[in-house]
Structures are given as structure tokens and as C-alpha cells.
Amino acid sequence: MQAELSRVIEQVSKEKGIDRTIVVGAVESAMLSAAKKIVGPTMHLEAKYNPEVGEVELFKILTVVEEVTDPEAQISLTDARTNLDPDAEVGDQLLEKLDQRYGRIAAQAAKQSLIQRLRDAERDIIYNEFKDRKAELTHSGIVQRFEKKNIIVNLGRTDAILPEKEQIPRERYRQGDRIRAFILEVEMTSKGPQIVLSRTHPGFLIKLFEQEVPEVYEGIVEIKAATREPGARAKIAVSSNDPDVDPVGACVGMKGTRVQAVVQELRGEKIDIVHWTPDPAEFVCRALAPAKVAKIIMDEDERSMEVIVPDDQLSLAIGRKGQNVRLASRLTGFKLDVRSESEAEEEARQARASLISVPGVGDVAAELLYQNGFKSAEEVAQSDEQTLAEVEGLGPEKAASILRAARAFVETKQREAEAAAAAAAAEQAASEQAAHETEVGEAPALDAGAAAEEGEAT
């Protein structure tokens, strides 16, 4: 082993991509650990690689003293000056080379330890390399094998895992296929670095556009947000930092070549490219495309919007199984309630009728309350004077009057509903009682008729 040690160190350094000093350090450490097991723990040792002779030399560390009390760790001043260093002084620490046979024995014992240390060093290098590549695309990996429904991908120096949940639905691979993915997680475990890949993460979509669109890669066009339903549909919001560059056109490319390259990589996933705007209402309108929006009622505190669309646009706005509105909601960050104009008009008519039914609330007051989000007398009754007073056009006195009237109206309405329910229950009970009495009266008559028939037969 020692005769070829220099060649082995160079070979391991090149093949594993480990720095030569790390390999030498691992060899020295392994030899030192093995030697201590041979000579015992009491002797202080040091291992040094000698590149001139191509071997690791073992030394015993001795402290120079006037009188030796521990031969394993001390040397007299006279012996030190005679055998090791003519200039030695008391207190100095000198190295005495061990017999070469210890080195040969230690070398054999160190082999397994050295392999483990080199493996650990390789793991650290791989981890440090990939932890800085988190949230990037892999270079073209190769499908190595399948573990249950997970795919093990060979990335060259190490393997990564593509879990089932991070795979695009209905996507199939065979062993040896090339695959690109998004580096989702890089963690160091007891078995070494674990690299988790994803093809469903929105970051995968963004990175693909960075590769296909030079303007995105250079930062001229910025992808503000992205959301996906993998394998089906995706939406991205883009803006331009250059007024002369159309962000949507840049991402689409000449005759759609750029976006089609991304769609092909995602196995036909449809991609909607939306021009981002800082105006939330306008952004939502664009995100719901191709549906046309007639009206938006926004609640910034709740981050929600009521979106009114023409009747013939409702199914288009909602999308297949709610896909379009769901993606638009995630892209914009607003909770969206989409409804048709006729549905909204009917709701508005019922709301105004409920508000006008409150004594003292006319058409104008009802409209003011409706425009401020009140849609029924019950909602007004549950409010407070301060909130109602903030409605422009009412004022504190009118607000207090409306609140009292609404609460009285709702209370009366509730009593009437309870009375009606009690009357209905009583009527139902009486009906059931009458039906029961009828059944009881018919039973003896049937028995008598049967007895008469039996007598005639006799």
C-alpha cells in the first residue's frame, strides 16, 4: 500500500474530485488512529505523510526533561541532544520516528478507516456543491431505477430522488431516460446528502422560462408570480423593466416557439401568461382571462374580491372544475367569488328589498347601506352605531335610528317565525293524531266483517 500511496492519493483526488490535502489528511488521520490501537493509548503519536518516499511516517512525541519518569512520553536532556536534536532544551517536544514495522501494520489496519474517511469527505463535497444549487434546475439527469413509485435520478456524482408527489401526473419514464427537474431540498443525513427533486413546483416553471427566454435570464423581464396545476394548466405573471420590451411577447416568442418549448417539457401543460400590474383589481381581471369581467367589488382587509362576469362568460371564468378561478386566486393572492350578472342582480334586488323593509329606511338609505356591504336587515342589526355612522350620507343620528329600527324589526321577525313554526308543529301533531284515531276506528270494523263472512261459510 505504502509503495503506491502517492499514486493512490493522486488517483483518488482526481476520481472523487476531493482536494489532495483532504485526501492526505484522511490518510494521516487513519494511520494515526490505527497506530494508537497497536501501541496503546498512553503513547503520544503523530503521523505525517512524506511525499519524497511516498509513505506515512509515524512519530512518537517526547517531552525533554531532566529526569525521566515516563519513558513512553519523556526523554532525558542528554539523550535528546545525542540522538534527536543537539539544541534541545528542557520542555521541548521532539518527534522520534517509530520502527517501520509499526507503519506497515498500521497501514493494513487503516485501510477500512481510510475508506470511510474518504467517503465522508466525498459526501461533504457533494453536499456543499448541491446546497448552493437549491432552487435551480438539474443538468440532464438519467433515470437510474425505481423505488416503489419514486424515481432515483443519477446526477453524475450522486443520486437524487424524485418522489411520486413531485412527479407530473400521467408522466412515465423508463430506465435510462434523460430527465430535468427542480432541486427542491438538499439535506445531510446519516447516509449522506439527500437531494429531493420536483417537476411540479412553480419554481420549475420559472427556471424553464429563464432558460428559454433571454430577457428573463437577464432580468429585463421579471416573473412576478407563478402557480400550477401540474400536467393541466399554469399561470405566470410577468412585467418588464424596459418600457420598450413587451413581457408577454418576450415569453411567447416568435410564433410561440419559446412558450412551446416550455409546454413540451411539461408534457403539454397549458400556460397562461399574464401581464402583471400593481393594481389588484386590474391584475385579477387579467388573471381571469380569457373571461371578460364586468365588475369587481374588493375587500382589501379580507383580501377578497367579488367578481361579476356576463352570464355567457361565467363558465369560462370558473374554468373546468374551477381550475381557472382557482389558479387566478393563487396567482393574485386574493380570494375570488365569481358570479354571473343575473345572479348578482337578483342578489342585489333581494338585498335592497330586505333593507327597505326596515322601518325608516328609504331607497336612498338602502342604497347607501348596500354600497357599503350591508346585504340584509339582519346584517344591519348585527352591526354597531360606529360602523353605521361611517357610512357616507347617514350620520350618527340616522345611524342610531336605523340600528334601533333594524334590531326591532329583526326581533319581531324572529318572534313571528317562531310562532309560525310552533303553529306548523301543532298542526302537524293534530294531523298525525287524527290519522292515528282513524286507523284505530277502522280495525274493529274489519274484524267484525271477517267474523260475519266466517259464519255464512259455516
CATH 2.40.50.140 maps onto the chain at 133-198
Phi/psi of residue 399, nearest 5 degrees? -65, -45
Phi/psi of residue 334, nearest 5 degrees? -115, 145
CATH of 133-198, one of 3.40.50.280, 3.90.78.10, 3.40.50.970, 2.40.50.140: 2.40.50.140
Q: Does domain 5-130 have CATH number 3.20.20.70?
A: no
The pLDDT of residue 165 is above 80: yes
Residue-wise pLDDT for 312-366, tens only, equals 889 999 988 899 999 999 999 999 999 888 888 888 788 778 778 788 777 787 7
Residue-wise pLDDT for 407-433, tens only, equals 888 888 888 788 888 888 888 888 877
Mean pLDDT score of the chain: 81
CATH 3.30.1480.10 maps onto the chain at 5-130
pLDDT over 90, % of the chain:
30
Task: Find the angle CA(38)-CA(42)-CA(46) to the nearest 5 degrees.
Answer: 70
The pLDDT of residue 134 is above 50: yes
Determine the pLDDT at residue 249: 94
pLDDT (mean) for 85-91: 79
The pLDDT of residue 224 is above 90: yes
Determine the pLDDT at residue 2: 45
- Higher-pLDDT residue of 348 and 287 is 287
- Under the banding of pLDDT at 50, 70 and 90, the label for residue 15 is low
Determine the pLDDT at residue 102: 52
The pLDDT of residue 171 is above 50: yes
Determine the pLDDT at residue 218: 93
Most trustworthy range by pLDDT among 9-23, 211-225, 364-378, 401-415: 211-225
Determine the pLDDT at residue 1: 44
pTM summary value: 0.65
